[in-house]
Structure 1
Amino acid sequence: MAGTPPRVLTIAGSDSGGGAGLQADLRTLFACGVHGMTAVTAVTVQNSLGVTGFTEIPPEVVAAQIEAVASDIGVNAAKTGMLASAAIIEAVAGALDRVDVGPFVVDPVAASMHGDQLLADEALDALRTLLFPRATLVTPNLDEVRLITGIEVRSRADQRKAAEALHALGPRWVLVKGGHLWHDPECLDVLFDGEEFTELLGPRYDVKHTHGSGDTLASAICSRLARGESVPEAVRFGKDFVVRSVAAAYPLGGGVGPVSPLWRLEG
């Protein structure tokens, strides 16, 4: 009988359309050969056309889910997605002080795919002050960089400035994703540890089906951190994984379809 695989906890919202959120996380973790666990923060009403509503889970229930999983099953790495409110962020931070979840990746879901702000200002402040200092790695896209730091990233040089500003908030590592730097013919992500920059280049595909790409990247990174790999090794794996997932994206419904980690199961 095979041994217990590495265990990854995702603290995030549910996507009823299955393209992002907990569903994308679990799909990716399975494809990466690790056991996925969940602490649900919100239940969204959404499909390929957009989000029409959501209900937050009580903060004490979010914290209880984290503690229940960590105290019994154990967690080798954890990530966040949609955290919905300052109260939930505070509850997550409190739970992390009571239990060990290993390397902790913060995917600061603060902006929609159109750049609209998803978190209230007090929740953004809670992200900065409570979760970033606890993070092994943060993985914002450029709209989230703008909301968190005020920096408008228009060039690769701006990505480095943003990485420095984000690192000053306390995480050990920062990954500034360049997918939304549309005029760049390649997709550059910048990894920064406070001293050195590492550039990760990838192709830019002319596709509209990119729902869940951030969730997929962060989950793929977590799958390798849970195996004991270094942050640079895990990020390189995650970058390659999400590039392949974008290439394998499929249409779904009448709107934006998801990136697909199913390529890994097919070959």
Structure 2
Amino acid sequence: MVNSFPQVLTIAGSDSDGSAGVQADLHTFFSRKVYGLSVITACVSGNSYGIHASEPLPLAFVKQQFKDVAADFKIRACKTGMLADSALLETVAACYQRYDLGPLVVDPVIMTKHGNMLLEESAFATMRSKLLPLATVVTPNYYEAQKLSQVELTDDAAIVLAATKLQQMGAKNVVIKGYHQDKEQKEVRDFVLLENGKNFWLSEPYYNTLRINGTGDSLSACIAAELAKGTNIENAVRIAKKYVNTAIKHELQIGHKFGPINHWAAQSLE
């Protein structure tokens, strides 16, 4: 039957070195046995040393991509990545509401590991008011959760408070990814707050490696892929956490500095 195979849409920037953005999402979709489509919002030029240039795509072209994929495919879930400014955020939010694209996973991309800002300061209010209320799941990292919730994450209680605030902004389910920049740490703990009120911590071993580009993209993409297959929210998050950690554990020596995670290593994970 036409369109019976699960299809997932990524709405994000294209990363020329293949380690993050749309490319990481598509790697993840393939690994999780769903078909990936894309609405590209920007093009980023860089390599393992850093990002050197980026260009947003015209809003009319972004809208046309939405129109075309929605007219032909049965998209069962989608996720966002790099949305550089308020105009783009508003466009994506409007297009998501216009078309039937399934549950939405919002990865609020704000800053790269290189320190490059990928979201204008003026766009935070737009993300809070326009996009978060549409999110089935929001997956900020430690820094992004602080910026969006305006809560300083000094301890576990503060992380719980930040998740609660993000839920109050409209996101149904919240995953705050744990801090992972301390070479002495032994684990990475993510906090999960579900729509039904259940909350828990997910812990996996910490690996001291620079091969972690695209971890946030891949986590959110994996959650979207699982939702498209009919997996419930809690299990989708648990699978995604294990998927990304497995991909980090088995290093790939690609590039000289900040390299990609190993999607092949996690491909058979069930």
Q: Specify the TM-score bucket, using the shorter chain as the normaliser.
A: over 0.9
What percentage of residue pairs aligned between the two structures are identical? 37
The answer as to 2:191 corresponding to 1:190 is yes
Out of 243, 246, 250, the residue aligned to residue 244 of structure 1 is: 246
Which residue identity lines up with residue 187 of structure 2 in the other structure?
Answer: E
Tell me, yes or no, if structure 1 residue 39 matches structure 2 residue 66.
Answer: no
Would you say the 8 A contact 1:110–1:119 is kept in 2? yes
Matched residue SS, 2:256: coil
For residues 65-87 of structure 1, the C-alpha deviation after alignment (integer angstroms, 9 at most, x for no partner) is: 12221221121000001111111
Residue 144 (str. 1) matches residue 144 (str. 2): yes
CA distance, structure 1, for counterparts of residue 137 and residue 42 of structure 2: 23
Residue by residue, what CA displacement relative to the aligned partner does 1:137-194 show, whole Å, maximum 9, x if unpaired? 0000011112212222132222211111111111100000104373653211111125
More displaced, 163-172 or 57-66? 57-66
> Quick one: distance in 1 between partners of 2:3 and 2:99?
24
| Root-mean-square deviation over aligned CA pairs | 2.0
Contact 2:7 2:77 in 1 (8 A): yes
Rate the CA distance shift 1:181–1:188 in 2: closer, same or farther, 3 A: farther
Secondary structure of the corresponding residue to residue 101 of structure 1: coil
Counting only pairs closer than 5 Å after superposition, residues 1-267 of structure 1 correspond to structure 2 as 4-114=4-114, 117-180=117-180, 182=182, 184-193=185-194, 195-265=197-267
Cα displacement string for residues 69-113 of structure 1 (whole angstroms, at most 9, x for unaligned residues): 122112100000111111111111111121011110000001221
Normalised TM-score (structure 2): 0.93
Distance in 2, matches of 1:96 and 1:253, equals 36
Structure 1 segments (4+ residues) deviating >3 Å: 1-4, 114-117, 179-184, 264-267
Letter in 2 for 1:255: K
SS at match of 1:76: strand
Q: In structure 2, how many angstroms separate the alpha carbons of the residues matched to 1:180 and 1:159?
A: 15
Amino acid at match of 1:204: Y
- On the 8 A contact 1:117/1:147 being kept in 2, the answer is no
- Report the secondary structure of 1:70's partner residue: helix
- For structure 1, which segment, 116-125 or 200-209, has the greater mean C-alpha deviation from structure 2 after superposition? 116-125
TM-score by length of 1: 0.94
Letter paired with 2:128: R
Native 8 Å contact 1:10 1:37 kept in 2: yes
- Is 1:58–1:88's contact at 8 Å kept on the other side of the alignment? no
SS at match of 1:199: strand
Deviates more, 1:214-223 or 1:181-190: 181-190
Question: Over residues 190-209 of structure 1, what are the superposed CA-to-partner deviations in whole Å (9 max), with x where a residue is unaligned?
Answer: 11125221211111112121
Query: Structure 2 vs 1, CA of residues 67 and 241 (structure 1 numbering), >3 Å: closer, same or farther?
Result: same
Q: Partner letter of residue 246 of structure 1?
A: I
**Unpaired segments of 5 or more residues in structure 1?**
none
Report if the CA contact (8 A) 1:60-1:91 is conserved.
no
Query: Amino acid of the residue matched to residue 112 of structure 1?
Result: T
Q: Kindly indicate whether the alpha-carbon contact (under 8 Å) linking 2:80 and 2:108 is maintained by their aligned counterparts in 1.
A: yes
